[in-house]
Structures are given as structure tokens and as C-alpha cells.
Structure 1
């Protein structure tokens, strides 16, 4: 169960809108309401509107801040998941490549690509699937031999903002209350009552609170916690995996800043193991990992921090990561969890296939309630949005 602070942060409350007879009106204000302002919600909205559905999105005022912005932007081609992992993971990165090359919709801006060359080092010397060694390395990598891996790393916020601008008139933010009504659903947000035929929940962890608000029994969603680590300073650009046997010990993603400053966002097993550590213990684990995989040391004057997030997913019997996307229809409500960033287009396509073919094209201008709702603001970077406490890394 989400705590009260988390519910309001997601733009959710736990009461039902009023349905006084004097306020009832005939007909729907839209065919579909999508709740959720992360990568899943935006891809769903784009697929629906491109297919001719009349759809609107309502999200919290900080798009993508729960999972999308902390995903590190890696469009996994499958290499990571085939290393000793028997679960099938297809080559999903080609779909994204086609979108960035203008061969598939939605066409995405190439400016959102940070690099197409991931580095891999550690226990990988005998892996034939990797490219040639990297010759010009930053000093911090020390004695490690580093290999190329052709995987694309993106700025998730740039992709979110591109889709937001594309559908700007149909992206809104506000607190959401939901209730069932004959033939559909009633949404109350920002003092407006919205009647919709279909409801799609793509709100990550918010799916749990919304689903229970609409009568679904608890236990259908799981959380796998992470403690993402951050280091800022005069750092080199590194995007890569540091491997320990078949485990990704560290995943490093670089966020550039002004004045030759950069921030590393560090995930992998370091983030997955012991996410509830006290700050002193967390710093000790970070230092040990840096000594092992970046033995050349970091520049003077670096600072570190950490940020606790949950990976919200459809519940599995063993509590492990689901094999694929989860898109399900339960009691007339559609639930969407993409599982991984790279799977968001697949989740949207699956959702689209579950809906009837639209009978009319979306309107160019929506009258009534939608004009009174505030439009969704641009996403900010995770570092700007998160309330981080920085400590010197001495």
C-alpha cells in the first residue's frame, strides 16, 4: 500500500467523485483516459491517437520521475539478459533504432541519443559477442580491458518531452479520483468531471492505488527496490557495464552538466542489493565497488549521493522480474507495466491490439472539460527533481 505522501506525489487520492444527478450529463468526454506520465503512458497515448482513438493522458506534474528518468536509458539488445539468464528477451532495440532513423512511428529525435557504444569490462575477456577492445580509456578504469558493445543509450527525458510536445493538447496533469459508471468510468480532476469509455492505467506504482480504488484486490503488483548511486565532479563520459562473473555489478550512465562537470548515475547489483542501507554503509559499499571496477581512482572534489526508488511491476510468483511486458484487462480496466524501458513500444502495441477499432478520427480541438485542465509541464532531469543530499567522496 502506498503511503499518503506517495499517493499525493503520484496525483492519486482514495475517494470517489460525486455523481449528483444535477451534475450528470449524457455522452463521453473522450473515448480513453490514460493515467500515467512515464514512458509507458506516453507511448500508449501516441499509439492510440495515431490509430484514430480519441484519447487523453493525465499524469503527475513531474513526468517520468518515478521510474523512467532513473532507468539509465539503456535500450537493451538482449546481451545482458542472455548471459546465464534462460528467460527469452528478443532484440527489442531495433524498434527504437527504426524510430530514431525515421523508419517507424513515433519518429524520435536523434538528439535524445547519448551514445550508441556501451563499454563492458570486468569478467568478460572470453565473451565472443563483444566488440574489439577500447584503446583510449580514461585513467579511472586502470588495468581493466574494456570492450565495445553496440547498444544505444538515450536521455529518457528528451523522449518524454518529444512525445509530450507532439500531443501537447492531450496531455494534462492533476489529482485523479476514479469511479465506475454505466458503460465506462468517471474521473474527477482539478474540479472537472470527465466521462470516459475506457480507462488505461500506466502509472507505474500508482496502478496499485488506482486499481484498489476501483475495487481490485491487493497483491497484483510487486515492488523491487533500488538504491541508485550518484557521483558528480570532473568525471569522464562513461556508459557501461562492469561485470562480476555473470552479474552486472555496476551500470554507469553519464549526465552532462556545465563547466566540464558530469554526474554518474550508477545502477546494477550495487543498486539492487541492500537498498535500505544507512548512508554510511551505503558509502562503504560504493567505495568498495569503485576500488574494484575503477581502480585508477576518481578526480579530487567528487561528491556522492543516492536515491531510493521502486521498480513497480506486475506481481510474479517468485518476486523476480517479469519475463515480458504486462498488459492486462481486469474488470474493464486496462493495466500496463512495460517492465523495462526498451519494452515500452511493445507494451503500447499490445494495449492497442486489445481495444476495438476506432469508429472516428480524433477531434482537432476538444471543447469543454479538457480546456480547463492544465497541460502537462516539460519533464525535468532526475537530478534537478530529486531531493538529494550530497556528501564529499574523500
Structure 2
């Protein structure tokens, strides 16, 4: 059986980037569907820490880098969406912490980096008095909290609820397809979808690749007679650690260390612990710990993380903590010397738009770029898509939201 269908825009990849664009484009009048290979958010999105940040860690040397300047406006745009006043309505998304914090320990270099960052981001960071410290730094017994705690404009969202909120308005345009092939013809891009029982030929005027690390395989062998080669991808590998710990106050903070690098010594978030009677939170550890952790095996990485936490937070009992760790790759467009890209990335390659948001916080920036690019291309009017939606709904399931990485490990 073979079926031929048409759609104006097909997005491949159901992480936060693809779902964000699905909402923006349909609201802007573009007839758009989304195809996901497995489950929503199962790549980078649910492996992220959910931080909507304003560029602090790119300003710890006291300078406003292009990256910190590009990200500066993102928290306000996200907050508008969460209040129902932004470009998307995210009122259904749960916020885990309305503020994020930065803590410099008592060491000179740590205090200096935090001070320089606070000066560079004047107006977006406030030094707190001890009585204003978050609950995590209260009730520390005989242990005094050294250094300074700063409150940032950043905040933390619950990524599963973010995905659910983005998916809800357009579930009739979300399809799970475990295998597809891209080819080019005179009418645009042709997607051959393997539904198991049938091959479906889908003609799309534009295809947007938002598959993260999966973009590389989709672009393998892609050729178009009127375009240059598609952009190359780079991977930024990380060794993340999770800790299930019976402590009532969740931590949301950057711990600034003594290294000369700009990456925080430790970046901590906490996420609800499901189906557990002995712990309320899963602590999720990133930052320099995750970057340098690529040199350590799982056992060594977990032991190092435990030592770091016990050193930083001696008032917390980790004797009953449960540790795990796993590797993830952050997919990015290739940049010289493996530097971090400054903005969300989108490049037109014939009828393809190839995207890497690079960071969760930059999704509004990605949406702006894609909308501007499509508007400039003056796409022709589209056919009635009811037949396409009806046929695909009969042949392909709707993808669910993937479990968080620490849930998948159980």
C-alpha cells in the first residue's frame, strides 16, 4: 500500500524545539505537522536541567559576551508565556523554582568570579542577606554558610509538564514514525514514512529538522542541486549525576568554584521524585562536574560527586542517598575550536531548515528566526490538510512524553 499526502511544513523531532515551532508556526498560519521517532523529549530536552537562564555563566569573567547578551532577554519572554501573555500560552507548565541562585564559597577566586559576574549583569542579580537565603541554606546546624548567595532572574521549569503543555493544543498534528527517509524532487521535499503496514509518501514544501543529535543521520546523503552542503554538527558530551536524597529543601543553584574556567563548579536542580516514600526530590548535577566527568567511569563519577556534595554541603546527610549517572550528548552546529554557539541556530538548505536551539532557554529566539525565514521565503498557499491529518492519524500513533532519564534507569 502506498499513499501520497501533502503538507506545507513538516517538523522532524519532538523535543522542546520542535514542539515550540509547531505551536509558533500553526499560530502564524503555517500548515504544520510534527513527526517524532520515539517519545516526546526523549533526547536532549528531558536530559536538560530545565533552567531558563539569562547568561550568568558566560559573564563570570566580568564581560558581557555575545552569548550572555543574546540570552539576557529570554527569562522575561518565558515568564510572559507562563503568565499567558507571551507568544505561546504556557500556563499549564509547572515552575519548580521561581528563582535560581548563585553561591560563591569563601575562597578568593570563587568570590572574585561571582563578584565580576554580578557587576557584568547589574540589574539581573542581587546579593542576598542570610535571612533572605533560600530554604536550602537554612537550618544548617553548626555549619555556617560561607561566601555570598545571589538571586538571579533565572528560574527552573518542570520539563515533562512543559512538553505536555506544548503538545496539548496540537495533538492531532503529532505523529510517531520510527523510520523515515528524506529525498528531494522538483516540488519540494519528499518524506517516505514507514508505518509498518504501509509506506506513506508525504510531500512537504518545507521540512524543519529539530531532531538534535538525530539531525546528523537525517542529513547523511542529503543532496540538493541548488544549495551548498548542509551544516556539520558537533557533540558536547556530559556525564550527568542524579542523587535521590531524603532532604526536604530542593537546591537550585550554581556553585562557583576556584577553576579559571567560566563553567560553574556545580549546577544543581531538583526534580520531583515519583513513586518514592523515602525521598521527595531527585537532585540533578551538571556544570564542571558533568564536563570533567567524561574522564571518569560511572563508579568514579558518582564517588567524585558524593565527595563534592559532602564538601560543599556538610550539613546534609548523604548516608541514605541513592546515586546514578549517565552520559548525554548536547548536539550543536559545528563551531571552530568546539566553542559554544551564541544563539539558536537555523540554516536554510534548499527546502530544509536545519535547527539546533543549543539551549532550552533559547527556544523563543529559535521561533523568531524560523518565522522570519519562512515569511521571507513567501511560501505558496497550502492545500486543505484534513485528508493528510486523517490518513496519518489512522496509520501512525500519537507519541507520548518520554520518562525522565533517572526514571528510565529504574
Place the TM-score, normalised by the shorter chain, in its bin: 0.7 to 0.9
| Aligned-CA RMSD value | 2.5
**2:404 paired with 1:381:** yes
Structure 1 equivalent of residue 75 of structure 2? 93
Structure 1 equivalent of residue 381 of structure 2? 359
Q: CA deviation at 1:358?
A: 6.2
**2:241 paired with 1:229:** yes
Gaps of 5+ in 2: 105-109, 120-124
Structure 1 equivalent of residue 163 of structure 2? 160
Structure 2 equivalent of residue 174 of structure 1? 177
> Structure 1 residues 138 and 232 mapped into 2: Cα distance closer, same or farther (>3 Å)?
farther
Q: CA deviation at 1:139?
A: 5.2
> Structure 1 residues 300 and 358 mapped into 2: Cα distance closer, same or farther (>3 Å)?
farther
Q: CA deviation at 1:315?
A: 0.3
> Structure 1 residues 300 and 288 mapped into 2: Cα distance closer, same or farther (>3 Å)?
closer
Distance (Å, rounded) in 2 between the aligned partners of 1:48 and 1:272: 35
1:29 match: secondary structure = strand
Instruction: Choose from 254, 257, 260 the match for 2:270.
Output: 254
Instruction: Choose from 199, 220, 227 the match for 1:212.
Output: 220
> Structure 1 residues 369 and 297 mapped into 2: Cα distance closer, same or farther (>3 Å)?
closer
2:243 match: secondary structure = strand
Kept after mapping to 2: 8 A contact 1:143/1:295: no
**2:196 paired with 1:184:** no
Distance (Å, rounded) in 2 between the aligned partners of 1:108 and 1:362: 28
**Residues 200-349 of structure 1 aligned to structure 2 (within 5 Å):** 200-215=208-223, 220-235=232-247, 236-245=249-258, 246-257=262-273, 258-259=276-277, 260-349=279-368
Q: Please, which moves more after superposition, 351-360 or 148-157?
A: 351-360
> Structure 1 residues 238 and 358 mapped into 2: Cα distance closer, same or farther (>3 Å)?
farther
> Structure 1 residues 346 and 371 mapped into 2: Cα distance closer, same or farther (>3 Å)?
farther
The CA deviation string for residues 142-200 of structure 1, in whole angstroms up to 9 with x for no partner, is 53343322321101121111111110000111122222222112222213222212111
Kept after mapping to 2: 8 A contact 1:231/1:303: yes
Q: CA deviation at 1:115?
A: 1.1
Distance (Å, rounded) in 2 between the aligned partners of 1:147 and 1:320: 27
Q: CA deviation at 1:119?
A: 2.3
> Structure 1 residues 101 and 364 mapped into 2: Cα distance closer, same or farther (>3 Å)?
farther
Q: CA deviation at 1:214?
A: 1.9
Distance (Å, rounded) in 1 between the aligned partners of 2:91 and 2:36: 23
Structure 1 equivalent of residue 102 of structure 2? 120
**Residues 73-152 of structure 1 aligned to structure 2 (within 5 Å):** 73-84=50-61, 86-87=65-66, 88-89=69-70, 90-109=72-91, 111-122=93-104, 123-124=110-111, 126=115, 127=118, 129-135=125-131, 136=135, 137-138=137-138, 143-144=145-146, 145-152=148-155
Give TM-score scaled by structure 2 length: 0.81
Give TM-score scaled by structure 1 length: 0.85
Q: Please, which moves more after superposition, 209-218 or 369-378?
A: 209-218
Distance (Å, rounded) in 1 between the aligned partners of 2:129 and 2:46: 30
Kept after mapping to 2: 8 A contact 1:32/1:56: yes
Gaps of 5+ in 1: 1-21, 389-394
Distance (Å, rounded) in 1 between the aligned partners of 2:351 and 2:379: 17
Distance (Å, rounded) in 2 between the aligned partners of 1:73 and 1:241: 13
Distance (Å, rounded) in 1 between the aligned partners of 2:331 and 2:130: 36
